[in-house]
Structure 1
Amino acid sequence: MNKSQIAVGATIIALSLVVGLQAGKMSRSDAAAAREALPDSTATIELTTQEGDLVRVQPSTLPPPGPQDFTEIAQRITAGRAPMTYLDEILASRGDHIARWVDRRYNPITVWVQRKPDVTDFWPDYPNLARDAFSIWSNAGIPVRFLFVDDSASAEVRLRWVERFPDTAAGKTFWARDLNWWIVGGDIEVALHSAVGETYDRDAVHAIALHEVGHLIGLDHSSSPGSIMAPRVHTLRLSPEDLRTAKLLYQLPPGLVRDTTR
């Protein structure tokens, strides 16, 4: 098995999900810089994190989450670890910050999925595979719903198909957040071929989309090989750990969740 192959059951799928998440891994100093750079809350800025990722920080009209009770938050996190989640891995990659959407059960996030890209090996049912990935996450016990729209300009989230990436990535998610760490938009790119030209089959395309939508809702990579959020995916469905982590994420407020003054 070469480095771009993963196992799904007894089937080998050429897939390497080394995802270019461009909105995570921001340190506390990065967050402070963002606040200073937006004194009037009217501009959109881009920051480079310690890992070299690009972060889009923009103003929004969403309310702040309120005063953070770090003791109460710590109790929620501790309770959520049994059974296990990978929330600690998310916090480690983001300087103890949580990024997530505000409750969107009654005001669904608008999503545009590209229907007719000029990409080889694209099949007409691929947009349905992508929509199914959004639906699976919206049924994962989190307060987020999605509404598919035909106008890309008005959509909060856009999913496009690309031939390939120059690196080992099979998909990339770029999301934007406000100063309070509410996610306010995003763009997903799904490749149909590996960097060396191998064509991804339908199962692989579906797995890529599931992984990317996981990033869109605020998850980062998991070290568990059975997770859809593993850097290299070995599954076609959400694991119990994925479900528990997503639920715990949405029980916590956005922003800094640990007291850094002690």
Structure 2
Amino acid sequence: MLERRLTALIAASITLMALAILWNVFMRHRVPVAAPVRPPVSAVPDTATHTASDTATPRPPPQPPATTTTSQGVGADTGGLSYMDALARSETRRRVRASAGVTYLNEIVAASQDSMLHRWDNRGRNPVRVYVTPGTVANFQPGFVDAIRGAFAEWGSTGVPVRFDLGGDSTNAEVTFRWRIQFEIERTGQTDLEWDQDGHILRATVTIATFDPKGRPLGVDDVRAVALHEIGHVIGLDHSPDSTDLMYAKGTIRRLSDRDVRTALLLYQLTPGSLR
């Protein structure tokens, strides 16, 4: 009886071993199925998040704010204003609108391309340096330089809190006066301003013709009147819509009006920059 059981157990063991061998042979000859190919994933350190510009080329050093050189200007980016800045601009707009009729600052802002106020910043104690280029063009007269000095003195008597030093030279001047014989268009003077993104005037170039558009030579008092108008632009004023103001674009007025003075004084009571 015992012998039969041993014989059956041995036969069962042999059978299991044979099945194991057959299974192993079957698995060795089985054709594997290729796994799908995944694109490589670049490793990113946990300590930083990289963008294409971070890994491709080094970033350039930060640049100073760009300035705008133009007679008209380009609006500054007003996105992301804080509550206090928005409140301050709202108050500035209110004061500008309230001055309508008394000044022409409201008309200046409405006609501008950038809705910005431009003026010199804190130049009551530190005068703006002015250089008047010696004239070599036809009809230039030495008295023209004195005429420009007289025009600055006239603006200086108004109380506008910006002073000018006419002792500057060509290397350090912030305002430069130049001469030309004649403009191709209907004008005898032109002012080009440069300001920063906050509306602070940085530099100005004033060009005055020695002949009017019709070919008539300008005299000393003519140059004084032209300079008086252009210095208004240097201060930060644009054109008035009223022909009785000196700052009217095509006027014949040779003296500052009360509105010219009030407009300049109000401009220097307000914070420069965008009103949007």
**TM-score, length of structure 1 as denominator length:** 0.71
Provide the residue aligned with 1:77 in structure 2: 96
Higher relative CO (Cα under 8 Å, sequence separation at least 6) belongs to: 1
Deviation of the 1:210 alpha carbon: 0.6
Instruction: Give the distance between the partners of 1:47 and 1:176, measured in 2 at CA.
Output: 4
Provide the residue aligned with 2:131 in structure 1: 112
Larger Rg: 2
Q: What are the residue-to-residue correspondences of 1:140-151 with 2, within 5 Å? A: 140-151=158-169
Deviation of the 1:78 alpha carbon: 4.1
**RMSD of aligned residue pairs (Cα, Å):** 2.4
Q: What are the residue-to-residue correspondences of 1:1-262 with 2, within 5 Å? A: 40-42=62-64, 44=66, 55=73, 67-68=85-86, 69-81=88-100, 84-94=102-112, 95-114=114-133, 116-258=134-276
Deviation of the 1:217 alpha carbon: 0.8
SS at match of 2:182: coil
SS at match of 1:123: coil
Change (3 A) 1:44 1:256: closer
Q: Does the 8 Å CA contact 2:117/2:267 hold for their aligned counterparts? A: yes
1:147 maps to amino acid: D
Instruction: Give the distance between the partners of 2:245 and 2:72, measured in 1 at CA.
Output: 25
Instruction: Give the distance between the partners of 2:237 and 2:210, measured in 1 at CA.
Output: 23
SS at match of 1:107: coil
Provide the residue aligned with 1:20 in structure 2: none
Identical columns (%): 36
More off after superposition, 123-132 vs 69-78: 69-78
Instruction: Give the distance between the partners of 1:229 and 1:145, measured in 2 at CA.
Output: 20
Deviation of the 1:77 alpha carbon: 2.2
SS at match of 2:218: coil
Would you identify which runs of 4 or more consecutive aligned residues in structure 1 move more than 4 Å? 43-48, 53-57
Provide the residue aligned with 2:35 in structure 1: none
Deviation of the 1:129 alpha carbon: 0.6
Instruction: Give the distance between the partners of 1:173 and 1:120, measured in 2 at CA.
Output: 21
Q: Does the 8 Å CA contact 1:56/1:177 hold for their aligned counterparts? A: no
Higher helix share: 2
Change (3 A) 1:97 1:117: same
**What runs of 5+ residues in structure 2 fail to find an aligned partner?**
1-60, 76-83
